[in-house]
Amino acid sequence: MIEHPAILNDVTLCIGCEECVAACKRTHGLALEDQAPREGASPDGLNATRWTSVVRLPNHANVRKQCRHCADPACVSACPVGALQKTPEGPVVYDKSKCMGCRYCMMSCPFGIPRYDWGSLTPSVRKCVMCYDELRSGRLDRPACVSACPAKATAFGTRAEMLAEAGRRIAERPKLYLPRIWGVDEVGGTSVLYVSHVDLAMLGWRPPSVLGDKPLPERTWDALRQVPFEFFGMGALMTGVWWIIDRRQRLAGGTGPGDESPGRGAAGSASGSADAAGKGEPS
């Protein structure tokens, strides 16, 4: 299997035939009948038995949607049991046997990709895995969706090759393509890239300006890194408050909150004695 494989989707070429969708379903044994969308679900057509979909924009552009196989995936970072893994070659895969169904991955993905198998008695998270097992074992030399496309709207190669191909297409037809390759830097870069004649802000949950180029796990760590300091800082503050109260009470001639003297412990001793007495034990 090639290192750092990538898929390039060319929106200008896609005719919306959904051969890619059908090929994915056949290859991965997914039900041909799609589950009915849940109320409030994203209308992008992805679901547990449809790992790639074609979003039809009002201006007749067809945009194939699938997992972007991020360089630094937020879903992997969010999964507390390691059910989602970034493979050494690049694709992001999923191990159902580890998944505990918390769905943190679904909340963390900046592109809204993972879907829950609501129709199953033993539900799991489902998404495109870039045909990882098939490519690794040699059963396929490219993802099934790429081979099936009659319009060559989707291509496969190393990420470097796909970036070069995307740049070449834009340079050759600058009047057709927008001067942008989607996936170069977004959230740290992705292995599913796009060139297009229409804006593809719809691919993310948030506008690109909000998503930014920084990997989301890095942002998470920026926040988490502060936790120990906040934790120990709060501990130090509480210790200081305790020390001041204790000192004031000592100066006032009373006993402090940490005083182990008989005066402070009288109530405790009395109840202890009462308990002991009640049990008939010698005082």
Stretch that binds ligand SF4, among 126-134, 172-180, 217-225, 243-251 (CB under 6 A): 126-134
Q: Closest separation between CB of residue 65 and ligand SF4, Å?
A: 9
Residues 27-56 that bind ligand SF4 (CB under 6 A): 27-28, 51-52, 54
25 vs 256 by CB, closer to ligand SF4: 25
> For residue 131, with 0-12 CB atoms within 10 Å meaning exposed, 13-18 middle and 19 or more buried, which class applies?
buried
Task: Look at residues 37, 24, 48, 39 and name the one whose alpha carbon lies nearest to residue 116.
Answer: 48
Query: Which residue is it, tokens 């998944």?
Result: 99
The three state secondary structure string of 14-82 is CCCCCHHHHHHHHHCCCCCCCCCCCCCCCCCCCECCECCEEEECCCCCEEEECCCCECCCHHHHHCCCC
| Residue 15 is a binding residue for ligand SF4 (CB under 6 A) | yes
Candidate list 55, 92, 162, 203; residue touching ligand SF4; CB under 6 A: 92
Contact call for residues 206 and 110 (beta carbons, < 8 A)? yes
The count of chain residues that interact with ligand SF4, using the rule CB under 6 A, is 42
Residues 131-150 that bind ligand SF4 (CB under 6 A): 131, 143-145, 148-149
Q: Tokens representing 34?
A: 């799609």
84 vs 256 by CB, closer to ligand SF4: 84
190 vs 256 by CB, closer to ligand SF4: 190
Q: What are the backbone angles phi and psi of residue 79, rounded to the nearest 5°? A: -70, 115
SS3 83: coil
| Residue 154 is a binding residue for ligand SF4 (CB under 6 A) | yes
83 vs 109 by CB, closer to ligand SF4: 109
Lay out the site mask for ligand SF4 across 237-276 (x = CB under 6 A, - = otherwise): ----------------------------------------
Candidate list 1, 41, 151, 178; residue touching ligand SF4; CB under 6 A: 151
For residues 64 and 52, give the distance between their C-alpha atoms in angstroms, rounded to a whole number: 7
Angle at 70 between CA 149 and CA 212, to 5 degrees: 115
Q: Closest separation between CB of residue 7 and ligand SF4, Å?
A: 7
Residues making contact with ligand SF4 (CB under 6 A): 14-20, 23-24, 27-28, 51-52, 54, 62, 64, 66-70, 73-75, 92, 109, 111, 113-114, 127-131, 143-145, 148-149, 151, 153-154
